[in-house]
Amino acid sequence: MDHSLLHLLNGFFARHDGVEDPFLLYSNASQMLFAGVLVTLFVLLPGAARHGARRIAVAAAASTGVALVVGAVLSHLVDRARPFVTDPSGIHMFGRHAADAGFPSDHATASFAIATAILLRSRRWGAVAMVLATVLAVTRVAIGVHYPSDVLAGAALGSAAALALWWTPIRTRLDAVAVWAGGLLDGAVARVRPGAAARS
């Protein structure tokens, strides 16, 4: 199943440039896009939504960090080769990629950690983030850099990390960090632009 789904998606992308191009672009830009969302949530949202958005941003960043650390340990222990390494003649590559271990997928781990952290706090925006994370996971398989089980493991790991940090004692501390860090940012903005923090 793992191999057959991989070849099905990879072959589809190889035969349909019009589909492959935008998804490949999204995959390549995804890290910056998800990071940009967190920065926007923490720094740029004005008014009443700002404080809740900052809690989401801190929780998502913490969930991502925890999940990626655990993922790095798993990657070292499992040391699973990527599809284009194990089957170089059968996998169509759409660009260069390091031949490092591919289990679990870092992209899936991080995107699902962020999406789950958002979903726990906002159903509407969390649903959007989940769709984006799912599209990214499928794309990583389709471009031949991961097996389906790599991205499924990453999705499970990222979601589990966000759920673990939703535990009330941890969530309370993360919320306090968000308030503290937000206060530092607002203070810095107020010193540079007096009155700006109060108006936001």
Q: Which residue range is the domain that position 83 belongs to?
A: 2-185
Q: How far apart are the first and last CA of the chain?
A: 52
Domain-located, residue 36: yes
pLDDT at 151: 98
Number of domains in the chain: 1
Rounded (10°) angle between helices 148-164 and 2-15: 110
pLDDT at 195: 55
**Each residue's pLDDT expressed in tens, for the chain with a length of 200 residues:** 899 999 999 999 999 988 889 999 999 999 999 999 999 999 988 777 889 999 999 999 999 999 999 999 999 999 999 999 999 989 999 988 999 999 999 999 999 999 999 999 999 999 999 999 999 999 999 999 999 999 999 999 999 999 999 999 999 999 999 999 998 988 887 788 765 544 55
Domain-located, residue 83: yes
Domain-located, residue 120: yes
pTM here is: 0.92
Domain-located, residue 199: no
Domain-located, residue 9: yes
CB atoms within 10 A of CB 145: 26
Question: What are the Cα distances from residue 63, in Å, to 4, 69, 111, 125, 137?
Answer: 32, 10, 10, 17, 18
pLDDT at 71: 98
- Judge whether 163 and 121 are in contact, CB under 8 Å: no
Task: Return the structure tokens found at 109.
Answer: 């781990």
Q: For the domain that residue 55 is a member of, what is the CATH number?
A: 1.20.144
Domain-located, residue 200: no
Domain-located, residue 119: yes
Chain-centroid distance, C-alpha 13: 22
